[in-house]
Amino acid sequence: MTDKPYFTFGNYLKQRFGGRVQKISIDAGFTCPNIDGTKGVGGCTYCNNEGFSYNSRVALRPVREQIEAGIAFSKKRFKANQFLAYFQAHTNTFAPVNQLKKIYDEILPYEEIVAFAVGTRPDSISPKILDLLESYSNRFEVWVEYGLQSSHNHTLARVNRCDTYERFLWAIDVTSTRNLKICVHVILGLPGETHEDMMKTAERLAPLPFHSIKVHLLHIMKDTPMEKEYLRGEIQIFSMDEYVETVCDFLERIPSDISVQRLTADAPPSVLVAPAWCLERKTIYQKIDQEFVRRGTRQGSRVSDNVRQDLSWKHQARRQAPFPIAEAARLAS
């Protein structure tokens, strides 16, 4: 059990592996179909990977070197002896299967690694890639992290996501039949979204077969199209108190068995434009806890008992063609 009003991922890992499991972030040199011209150029309007991943802020190093450095640092700093290798930067399934295998195989020599995760997009998954990921599940707990960001296609178009909610549903459907864990990423505060829009995303997620969630705060980073929009006054961002209230509203609509990996987001001061308060991570988490206490609620408080049995999403997912975009067929070859 946890004393938090939500089910933390750290608690899940302790239950699963009997102790602390420390995450090691890896930049394997991938790009993204929304950057290299496959679907778009420039990426999502909020995206600057230097703000998301330390390894994207330094010269690219061999994967093995990043793993060994991460293990050594975490053993010293956190006294950890079990690790989750997280292929984080950009789209970590966006390559031919044989190339992906060579990259993922880099974690095999390390007995301390008990799990690994790949951050990706729904449009960069295929059955053959899922076959590959599942082939590691006899040795590791394998996580596929899907960047949804919003369930509203008008929002996804607004931020140049070049992807759709329907494709996400298809990816969830085909992944859920495998021995794989699924994490979903969402961003609260995207341009043009109302409170009702954000709550609708939570409600749409509730019946889906996923296992964990990352909730990101929209923060503005340098050298992004969104920075220009923000400086022109075209984008409004949350105050800390507004964000705390919104996060609590969101989590009340997420089933209590879904582990929570993050509830905010930030970036290094050298990259961050706004809001400055997002650097106060400890305060944000404290305020979230306090708001739940004030309300007398917790994660899942607004979820009906039978929501996980609602299979209506499958009809929408399975109406989508298995390869609705050209690059999915290419990746499957």
Per-position DSSP letters for 171-189, written without gaps between them: HHHHHTTSS-EEEEEEEES
Round to whole Å and give the CA distance between 1 and 227.
Answer: 41
Q: What is the dihedral of CA 146, 248, 17, 175, to 10 degrees?
A: -20
The confidence score (pLDDT) of residue 57 equals 53
Beta bridge partners of 118: 87, 144
Q: SS3 for 142?
A: strand
Residues 6+ away with beta carbon under 8 Å from 119: 86, 87, 88, 89, 91, 92, 145, 147, 185
The confidence score (pLDDT) of residue 53 equals 53
Query: pTM, whole model, 2 decimals?
Result: 0.93
Round to whole Å and give the CA distance between 196 and 38.
Answer: 33
Q: What is the dihedral of CA 218, 4, 26, 168, to 10 degrees?
A: -60
- Residue 208 burial (10 A CB sphere; 0-12, 13-18, 19+): buried
Sorted by where each begins, the domain ranges of the chain are: 9-332
Q: What's the CATH fold of domain 9-332?
A: TIM Barrel (3.20.20)
Rounded to whole angstroms, what are the CA distances from 26 to 58, 159, 168? 12, 26, 24
Structure tokens at 48: 């600057």
The confidence score (pLDDT) of residue 52 equals 52
pLDDT per residue of the chain (333 residues) written in tens, 0 to 9: 458 999 999 999 999 999 999 999 999 999 999 999 888 888 999 999 675 555 555 789 999 999 999 999 999 999 999 999 999 999 999 999 999 999 999 999 999 999 999 999 999 999 999 999 999 999 999 999 999 999 999 999 999 999 999 999 999 999 999 999 999 999 999 999 999 999 999 999 999 999 999 999 999 999 999 999 999 999 999 999 999 999 999 999 999 999 999 999 999 999 999 999 999 999 999 999 999 999 999 999 999 888 988 888 887 777 655 544 444 434 433
Q: What is 233-299 written as a DSSP string?
A: T------HHHHHHHHHHHHHTS-TTSEEEES-----TTTEEE-GGGG-HHHHHHHHHHHHHHHT--T
The gap between the terminal CA atoms of the chain, to the nearest Å, is: 45
CA quadruple 134, 126, 204, 314: dihedral sign: negative
User: Among all chains, which residue has been given the structure tokens 């997420």?
Assistant: 254
